[in-house]
Amino acid sequence: MWLGVTFPIDPELTVAMLQHLVEESPKEAGTRAIAAATAHYVTSMRCGAENNSTFFALQMIVSVADEHSHVTDQSMFDLWRKNLQLDKPEVFLEKLSGAVDQLVADDWWVDRDKIKAKLDAEGK
């Protein structure tokens, strides 16, 4: 999942992994909102607003908002999104990273720290 968000792989595959996290997390868990927000962010960045994957990810986050906090209209959605900081990629991506860390329990099959260091060095 971390690789799918970090690298520009097929966004449908990334969304499928994030959807699995949404489906496997408790309905009241913030992890669901974070995964759905990430799916929408990834598809928006990689596919554009008019793409079917972006529409699917938007529907995912709307569904999560309803199940998480009984959000029923746009103003409630906007407030919910702002309160959970789902409008700030620097916040929700860091939270997703923490959730993935918990899932893998430091049993990474790649040297994630080495990859992060290389990405940081290339980004500067």
What's the pLDDT score for residue 14? 92
User: Is there a contact between 15 and 36 (Cβ–Cβ < 8 Å)?
Assistant: no
Determine the number of helices (DSSP H) and then strands (DSSP E) in the chain.
7, 0
**Number of other CB atoms surrounding residue 23 within 10 Å:** 10
The burial class, CB within 10 Å (0-12 / 13-18 / 19+), for 61 is: buried
The pTM for the full model equals 0.82
Single-letter code of the amino acid located at 44: S
Task: Tell me how far apart the alpha carbons of residues 3 and 77 are, in angstroms, rounded to a whole number.
Answer: 29
Could you read off the pLDDT of 75-118 as tens digits, one per residue?
Answer: 999 999 999 999 999 999 999 988 887 777 766 666 767 877 88
Cα angle vertex 119, ends 116, 124, to 5°? 125
DSSP, collapsed to helix, strand or coil, labels residue 93 as helix
As a whole number, mean pLDDT of residues 62-87 equals 94
As a whole-number percent, the residues of the chain with pLDDT over 70 amount to 94
**Number of other CB atoms surrounding residue 14 within 10 Å:** 24
As a whole-number percent, the residues of the chain with pLDDT over 90 amount to 59
What's the pLDDT score for residue 110? 67
